[in-house]
Amino acid sequence: MTHSAAPATAIGLQALEERLQSDLELLELPAKSWVPPRTLHGDTVRDVVVIGGGMCGLAATAKLLFTGISNVVAYDAAPAGEEGPWITFARMETLRSPKTLHGPALGLPQLTFRAWFTAQWGAEAWQELDKIPKNQWMDYLVWYRQVLDLPVRNNVRITAITPIDDLIALDLTGAETGRIYTRRLVLATGRSGLGGAAIPDFLQGVDRRFWAHSADDIDFAALSGKSVAVIGAGASSMDNAATALEAGAAAVDMLIRRAEMPRINKMTGIGSQGVVHGMHRLADDWKWKFVDYTSASQTPPPRSSTLRVSRHPQAHFYLNCGIMAVREEGEGLAITTTQGEKHYDFLIAATGFANDFNGRPEFAAVAPFIRSWSDGRYTPEMGTPRASMLDAPDLGPDFEFREKVPGTCPQLAHIYCFNDAAMLTHGKVSGDIPAVSAGAERLVRGITASLFAEDVASHYASLQAYDTPELQGDEWVDASPLLKKENAL
């Protein structure tokens, strides 16, 4: 038995970390540093900055370091251990994903959730574990970062991204302030990372006292005894409704536009390495077809989350219940639906996220130049012109942004969209747990090639300058003088 299997017994984290270290040594990871250093006005220029220290940011940072791109730093606005949704606005009890997924492990068995869990609680506990509790997933991500000693700086928000010559300037606030420069920038900014919450028109102008988006910091205790409407039929709608019910809401109505609950998780159903590695190489019309079909059929909420709502007698599901208008009325809301008018104290919009780059101040300098699928990549023969898909960035093969008008912002080729918004171009490899390692590998291969090409003159000069002999000169004797002598006789 080698070290590469998940430990069967609870060997403890220290022993697991020793095994991981030994595997890294066997694989010569991290690889030696190879990017020529660069400075600007005497200050170090980063090779790569990653915005976001959530799962994608961690996987990308780890892969960059493994590949010998060592002058890297990741920033996250959240405090350490609170990155991403897991212990903030994720209101489910467990992950939807099966516990066996290797997620950000980058092909290293000892870096998997399973190894981490089993090392602490043993194989029997692993067998008994059904789904991964969300807080435990966060604990695992915290360990992942620590054990790989990833350079993540917390409580730092990037407030502006400004292309300057062949570099990208980043303005920081929080625990670090000022301006830094980088050669490549990775946006691992999460599901809301390229825009923000998608807010339906009927909520525009309605006082925020009466409604929240599902990703907001909601005071659920204040909903005790209140009547609450939840819009949507996805996972977040169920988890928010359940949280409101568990906090003592007097009534929770699920207002669902569809006539039927989505029941089949289509993309998960066909999940395979073919999908992971093949989707991004498909012709555009096939990419559109897949995403359009799954958007139309919609991902169902998990069964456990749905039962978590329906077990409460004061929860009601209204299907075929589209919302036409919302207005404030006294200390609550009057909602005009296709099933008549309804009255609530509070509304939660579980309406997802949008790719509106213009909605994020940090992208203001580059947003107008970013090419979307609506800028010519989509053609009507592909299928329904779905707004959420038309807004998706039209990315290159390495997750890099492309310019709407060539020559207007060439630095976009050095900014990589490693988040959920890449899905239409790249498949689901930069957001969800199952294929994040494949996504990080694709990303880092691209950054590696791009940095190497940009520095090619320097690498060529190194080639010419390299003068350490491998042969000492005493390993052979040149026979030609002897031959010459013989011929002369």
Ligand X SMILES: Cc1cc2nc3c(=O)[nH]c(=O)nc-3n(C[C@H](O)[C@H](O)[C@H](O)COP(=O)(O)OP(=O)(O)OC[C@H]3O[C@@H](n4cnc5c(N)ncnc54)[C@H](O)[C@@H]3O)c2cc1C
| Contacting positions for ligand X (CB under 6 A) | 51-57, 75-78, 83-85, 90, 95-97, 157-158, 188-191, 193, 236, 362, 419, 431-434
- Number of other residues whose CB lies within 10 A of the CB of residue 251: 18
R_g (Cα) of the chain, nearest Å: 27
- Number of other residues whose CB lies within 10 A of the CB of residue 484: 9
User: CA triplet 38, 64, 363: central angle to 5 degrees?
Assistant: 75
Is residue 430 within 8 A of residue 423, CB to CB? The reply is yes
Q: Between residues 236 and 355, which has the closer beta carbon with respect to ligand X?
A: 236
Give me the least distance between CB of 366 and ligand X, in Å please.
13
- CA dist 469 and 29 (Å) reads 26
Question: Checking DSSP bridges between strand 227-231 and strand 346-349, what pairing results, if any?
Answer: parallel
Give me the least distance between CB of 166 and ligand X, in Å please.
22
Is residue 12 within 8 A of residue 120, CB to CB? The reply is yes
Sign of CA dihedral 268, 63, 190, 370: negative
Question: Encoding tokens for residue 255?
Answer: 């207002």
Is residue 395 within 8 A of residue 401, CB to CB? The reply is yes
Q: Nearest 10 degrees: CA dihedral of 198, 199, 202, 208? A: 170
Closest by CA to 399, choosing from 361, 432, 444, is 444
Taking the mean position of all CA atoms in its chain, how far away is CA 296?
23
Give me the least distance between CB of 242 and ligand X, in Å please.
12
Give me the least distance between CB of 27 and ligand X, in Å please.
24
Is residue 229 within 8 A of residue 255, CB to CB? The reply is yes
Q: Between residues 35 and 412, which has the closer beta carbon with respect to ligand X?
A: 412
Q: Between residues 163 and 193, which has the closer beta carbon with respect to ligand X?
A: 193
Give me the least distance between CB of 244 and ligand X, in Å please.
15
Q: Between residues 382 and 429, which has the closer beta carbon with respect to ligand X?
A: 429
Question: Encoding tokens for residue 352?
Answer: 């997802």
Give me the least distance between CB of 285 and ligand X, in Å please.
27
Give me the least distance between CB of 436 and ligand X, in Å please.
8
Closest by CA to 59, choosing from 396, 420, 399, 438, is 438
Q: Between residues 214 and 337, which has the closer beta carbon with respect to ligand X?
A: 214
Kind and range of the H or E element at 377?
none
Give me the least distance between CB of 330 and ligand X, in Å please.
32
Give me the least distance between CB of 121 and ligand X, in Å please.
20
Q: Between residues 80 and 206, which has the closer beta carbon with respect to ligand X?
A: 80
Q: Between residues 172 and 335, which has the closer beta carbon with respect to ligand X?
A: 172
- CA dist 76 and 88 (Å) reads 14
Give me the least distance between CB of 291 and ligand X, in Å please.
16
Give me the least distance between CB of 223 and ligand X, in Å please.
19
Helix, strand, coil percent values for the chain (each to nearest 5): 40, 20, 40
Give me the least distance between CB of 433 and ligand X, in Å please.
3
- CA dist 35 and 71 (Å) reads 8
Q: Between residues 172 and 256, which has the closer beta carbon with respect to ligand X?
A: 172
Q: Between residues 10 and 417, which has the closer beta carbon with respect to ligand X?
A: 417
**Which 8-state DSSP code applies to residue 400?**
B
Q: Between residues 337 and 437, which has the closer beta carbon with respect to ligand X?
A: 437
Using a 10 angstrom Cβ sphere, with 0-12 exposed, 13-18 middle and 19 or more buried, the burial of residue 193 is buried
Q: Between residues 47 and 76, which has the closer beta carbon with respect to ligand X?
A: 76
- Number of other residues whose CB lies within 10 A of the CB of residue 327: 13
**Which 8-state DSSP code applies to residue 109?**
G
Reading phi first (left if > 0) and then psi (alpha if -120 to 50, else beta), residue 195 is in alpha
Q: Between residues 137 and 378, which has the closer beta carbon with respect to ligand X?
A: 137
